[in-house]
Structure 1
Amino acid sequence: MNFDLSDEGRMLQDGLRRFLTDTYTPATRRAAMGATAGFDAEIWSGLAEMGVIGALFPEDQGGFGGTGFDLALMFEELGRVGAIDPLIDTGVLGGGLLAAAGRDDLLEEVIGGTLQLALAHTEPGSRYDLARVATTATKDGDGWTLSGRKAVVVNAPGADRIIISARTDGTTGDPDGISLFIVPAEALNLLPYPLVGGGMASEIALDGIKFPADALLGDAGHAYPMLAAAQARATLAICAEALGLMEAIRRLTTDYLRTRKQFGQPIGKFQVLQHRMADVLIEIEQARSAVINLAGNIDTPDRDLHLHATKNLIGTVAKLVVEESIQMHGGIGVTEEYDLGHLAKRLTMVDHRFGDALWHLERFITLRAA
């Protein structure tokens, strides 16, 4: 397998790196984190104009990429600057579900950067289980009535439309019988709050709200495969973002060790710290290999096996990188003014989305034993 970037890939990587370096200053990031939507609209428009959103989708869906390596390339660059833009939520999750349901009209708006989406799937007590959906959708005349509660709906405060999963058949925990509905965000009662590491989320209470028949996204009762495929790609994206965060943290820590002096010399000359940084570098390279492997297998029958292995490793390495970097920095490593504080918080939260390291280890063991 050839891991070298194509000419188009190198151009996109170089252009995206320059754009993010120029636009993502600590000041702009703090301003974006304080915004009601949780991101900077101008930066989002810039990403769309560069074709970053279009690179998430193949040509037959209006894009020009769509491979696992395209996702890994872009999200690693976003991770390097600690970007907080909702590309996973609007592009990978929301856009992926629209593409699977054949909603090219809305997908075109997503690629153009004019439509923001959020996926309301997680529920209290669901514990990363995609099939654990208790929210119900019942046929009500010419429409649907939804009842239930959704938790930690990332990007909901900034979304134009929200995709809601609900059960139209079966029982909680059954993959069959889950349906998707796309509804205007203003039709819902949102309880917004900021997320650790940047971005906004909401709790959503669905108390018998009725929506028209065309709110149904795809076929009723058959949404689980769509959800699984979209979340698999989102997991690859967040693993690649974590890799970029690790590289940025490693660079900051290395620079600090070269400049911080103790006993008349840079602390980076102390052998014990050199050994600790060597361990960090080795683990990051192992994480990179895992992300590359997942990118190459994201559309294969063995997808889930590679996905669980990669997310488990990323969660484990992320914990090591955060702990080592903060310990070697000392108190400055947890201040808001220093980049490491934001990068470390965002990297820590990677393990809490789409399944933590322990959950994925359990799923990996189950698949290998089957």
Structure 2
Amino acid sequence: MDFDLTDEQRLLRDSVERLVADRYGFEQRRKYAAEPGGWSREMWAQYAELGLLGLPFAEDHGGFGGGAAETMIVMEAFGRALILEPYVATVLLGGGLVQAAGSAAQQAEILPRIAGGETVLAFAHTERQARYDLADVATAARQDGGAWRITGEKGVVLHGDTADTLVVSARVSGGRRDAAGIGLFLVPAEASGVTRRGYPAQDLLHGAEISLHDAPATPLGTPGEGFAAIARVVDRTIAALCAEAVGAMAELHAMTVDYLKTRKQFGRPIGDFQVLQHRSVDMFTALEQARSMAMYATVMADSDDADERARAVSAAKVQIGRSARFVGQEAIQLHGGIGMTMEYKAGHLFKRLTMIDKAYGDADHHLARLAAAGGLFSEAA
């Protein structure tokens, strides 16, 4: 399998890396975090101008027709810079669900607006009792004459406090943990019956607790047939988060090696001590293991075989979680006290890595999921 980038992919990588290097230094990021909602509208417009917001969408919808590999390139660069903007929430989750489940008319209406930076979406799916079970949905949707109404509670909705439109999962039939009977609905964020409480998380990205009480909703695709789209889009998003984690780990490793070369103790750089060299090599090994699994998840993210795709994503999530914990802990220990301060980037990278580990199931959850599925490869394979 050829893992070399094409000329177009290299151009994309260079463009994104140049943008974040010029416009997303650590001090600039702190200023963006202080803006309303915790992210920069100016940077969002820059992403739209570069075509990043339409990257996964078809050209007919204002996009570039990119796949998982292009998303991986962007997310790795974003991981190094610790971007705060709602790229995952709007492009990968919200836009991905519109692309996977929406009608042709809905795609033609919504996707170009995402690509142009004109609208922000959020996926309101997680519920308090669900833990990591995607099928555990208690929020209910009912028909009221010719309209739909939704009632329920959603938690930790990524960028739900600044979204213009919510993509809400709600049950139209079946039991609380049944995959069948889950629908996807578009709900205007400012609609009657919608209450939002936003807050910054540990990594400074924003989440929201959302209450819906007879909120007006428009079905996204066929009501009750949304779970397959949810599972596919979440798997793709996990693969993208794995790439983001690789970028964050690479930045942590580079910062740590640079610190070992400059910090002096007993009259010499501490990087001269062999035991610390060995620890930095162990960090690099964990990083490269994570990179390999992130690439594997990227290759499998567009697979139509849901079981095979889920196995690959779970295996990648296990390695990403373990590598992130190891690289983060080693980086903090080798930096010493400065590594934990709010004024230094290392601690923020470790926080983001921890949040990525928890997103859509931590390493332990995915290891159990992989074991229940019989391992990475099926008997048929």
* TM-score relative to the length of structure 2: 0.94
Counterpart in the other structure of 2:174:
170
**In structure 1, the residue corresponding to 2:84 is in which secondary structure?**
coil
- Percent identity, aligned pairs only, is 43
Structure with larger RCO (C-alpha < 8 A, sep 6+): 1
Which of the numbers 332, 341, 366 marks the counterpart of 2:347?
A: 341
Please tell me whether residue 211 in structure 1 is matched to residue 216 in structure 2: yes
Deviations 1:189-246 (A, max 9, x none): 1011111112211101123x2415xx11110100001101110111011110000000
Structure 1 residues 335, 262: CA separation in 2 closer, same or farther (over 3 Å shift)? same
Please tell me whether residue 241 in structure 1 is matched to residue 241 in structure 2: no
Q: CA deviation at 1:351?
A: 0.7
Counterpart-to-counterpart distance in 2, 1:6 and 1:59: 19
Please tell me whether residue 305 in structure 1 is matched to residue 311 in structure 2: yes
Superposition map of 1:114-193 within 5 A: 114-187=118-191, 188-193=194-199
Q: CA deviation at 1:296?
A: 1.1
Deviations 1:33-65 (A, max 9, x none): 222222100001101110112222344554223
**In structure 1, the residue corresponding to 2:89 is in which secondary structure?**
helix
Please tell me whether residue 220 in structure 1 is matched to residue 227 in structure 2: no
Counterpart-to-counterpart distance in 1, 2:61 and 2:37: 27
Please tell me whether residue 363 in structure 1 is matched to residue 369 in structure 2: yes
Contact 2:63 2:112 (C-alpha < 8 Å) held by counterparts: no
Deviations 1:89-142 (A, max 9, x none): 100000011112132211110011111000000000211111000001111112
Instruction: Point out where structure 2 has 5 or more consecutive residues left out of the alignment.
Output: none
Counterpart in the other structure of 1:289:
292
Contact 2:187 2:215 (C-alpha < 8 Å) held by counterparts: no
Please tell me whether residue 42 in structure 1 is matched to residue 45 in structure 2: no
**In structure 2, the residue corresponding to 1:206 is in which secondary structure?**
strand
Counterpart-to-counterpart distance in 2, 1:150 and 1:115: 21
Counterpart in the other structure of 1:27:
27
Deviations 1:8-39 (A, max 9, x none): 11111101111111111223211222222221
Q: CA deviation at 1:145?
A: 2.1
**In structure 1, the residue corresponding to 2:150 is in which secondary structure?**
strand
Residue type at the aligned position of 2:16: L
Counterpart-to-counterpart distance in 2, 1:16 and 1:246: 18
Counterpart in the other structure of 2:12:
12
Counterpart-to-counterpart distance in 2, 1:269 and 1:57: 49
Counterpart-to-counterpart distance in 2, 1:272 and 1:56: 45
Counterpart in the other structure of 1:276:
279
**In structure 2, the residue corresponding to 1:154 is in which secondary structure?**
coil
**In structure 1, the residue corresponding to 2:38 is in which secondary structure?**
coil
Q: CA deviation at 1:289?
A: 0.7
Contact 2:318 2:364 (C-alpha < 8 Å) held by counterparts: yes
Contact 1:71 1:236 (C-alpha < 8 Å) held by counterparts: no
Q: CA deviation at 1:72?
A: 0.8
Counterpart-to-counterpart distance in 2, 1:60 and 1:362: 41
Contact 1:145 1:211 (C-alpha < 8 Å) held by counterparts: yes
Counterpart in the other structure of 1:254:
257
Residue type at the aligned position of 1:47: Y
Q: State the 4+ residue runs in structure 1 displaced beyond 6 angstroms.
A: none
Q: CA deviation at 1:366?
A: 1.2
Contact 1:143 1:210 (C-alpha < 8 Å) held by counterparts: no
Contact 2:68 2:298 (C-alpha < 8 Å) held by counterparts: yes
Q: Mean Cα displacement is larger for which, 250-259 or 143-152?
A: 143-152
Contact 2:63 2:115 (C-alpha < 8 Å) held by counterparts: yes
Structure 1 residues 22, 254: CA separation in 2 closer, same or farther (over 3 Å shift)? same
Question: Pairwise CA RMSD of aligned residues?
Answer: 1.3
Counterpart-to-counterpart distance in 1, 2:67 and 2:10: 15
Contact 2:240 2:298 (C-alpha < 8 Å) held by counterparts: no
Please tell me whether residue 94 in structure 1 is matched to residue 94 in structure 2: yes
Instruction: Point out where structure 1 has 5 or more consecutive residues left out of the alignment.
Output: none
Counterpart in the other structure of 2:206:
200
